[in-house]
Amino acid sequence: VRMGFIKLMLMRMFSMVLSILSSTNKGHMSVPSGPLAQHLERHHLTDLKNDLVHASRSNFMGIAGGFAQMIREGGLRSLWRGNGINVLKIAPESAIKFMAYEQRLIGSNQETLGILERLVSGSLAGAIAQSSIYPMEVLKTRLALGRTGQYSGMKDCAKHIFKKEGLKAFYKGYIPNMLGIIPYAGIDLAVYETLKNSWLQRFATDSADPGVFVLLACGTMSSTCGQLASYPLALVRTRMQAQATQEGSPQMTMTGLFRHIVRTEGAIGLYRGLAPNFMKVIPAVSISYVVYENLKITLGVQSR
């Protein structure tokens, strides 16, 4: 019965993802950002996603074409461009997010929180974490989109941005990022906790450990829901960060970019890069939840 429940969750998730990808790709895989280990393994997918997001409608590239272009331009090392700052960013980001969420910022005195309370708590936790590390997010995007040899490292990139664009450049795209992270983090954490608790109540009333496969399934489902709800805002954030790399190009606002994308690429353009983003985020987030839950058990932390 337990394995049947897990299989059902995975089948529903994969059918949803496949239907989305098949409806958005239309012959182009280009149409549609856990623990340190997952980010080391999957950072090349972040670079590829950024390239696909940054491409225009007249310059479509598929996933395979994106990989080939990156390797031609900078060799295999280019697939991990910006990964140093990505690793430095993810540790405090995840720690702050989970710490803030565990505080249950709007939690009541009930023994068990409802889905609305989890949703708001997750949204606040995500907003706090992103606000804390956002300049590093900008650095990561700039390094990933830069040419091979353009920057000698993180410090050189930061100096270049500060000297040429000033301090405000480190917060470019902050508003769409916040508008996107609030539904993403809220839905992700709320759906994850709700699915996990539902499984425990139904199948494991005598245990607080649902097991690795159940945690992976819950994390996969919650991450998928969160990504679908927030991806257009994440795309606009990346486009706003990337604008500064094009000298002489107009610097559009968030609403201006939304209108430009819809006018020139159609509504489907708001989901460009979704496929590699799913390939990166789903396993990374799912594995991070497994590590998170096992650390909670090891440390004796109880969640409501």
Count of positions (residues) in the chain: 304
Domain ranges of the chain: 173-272
DSSP 8-state class, residue 207: -
Is pLDDT larger for residue 76 or for residue 227? 227
| Residue where the block lists tokens 């006018």 | 263
With 90 as the cut, is the pLDDT of residue 162 above it?
Answer: yes
CB 138 within 8 A of CB 235: no
Give the model's confidence band at 105: pLDDT under 50 very low, under 70 low, under 90 confident, else very high: low
Q: How far is CA 112 from CA 107, 193, 194, 203, 292, in A?
A: 9, 11, 11, 18, 19
Quote the crossing angle between the two packed helices 2-25 and 174-203, to the nearest 10°.
150
Distance separating alpha carbons of residues 70 and 168, to the nearest angstrom:
29
Q: What's the pLDDT score for residue 33? A: 37
Q: What's the pLDDT score for residue 146? A: 79
Distance separating alpha carbons of residues 12 and 94, to the nearest angstrom:
27
Give the model's confidence band at 104: pLDDT under 50 very low, under 70 low, under 90 confident, else very high: low
With 70 as the cut, is the pLDDT of residue 289 above it?
Answer: yes
CB 184 within 8 A of CB 235: no
Q: What's the pLDDT score for residue 88? A: 86
Q: What's the pLDDT score for residue 24? A: 41
Each residue's pLDDT tens digit, 134-161: 999 899 888 888 778 888 888 999 999 9
Cβ partners under 8 Å of residue 19, min gap 6? none
Using a cut of 0.85, tell me whether the model's pTM lies above it.
Answer: no
Each residue's pLDDT tens digit, 233-284: 989 988 888 887 777 677 888 999 999 999 999 999 999 888 888 888 888 8
Distance separating alpha carbons of residues 182 and 185, to the nearest angstrom:
6
Burial 98-136 (b: 16+ CB within 10 A, else e): bebbbebeeeeeeeebeeebbbbbbbbbbbbbbebbbbb
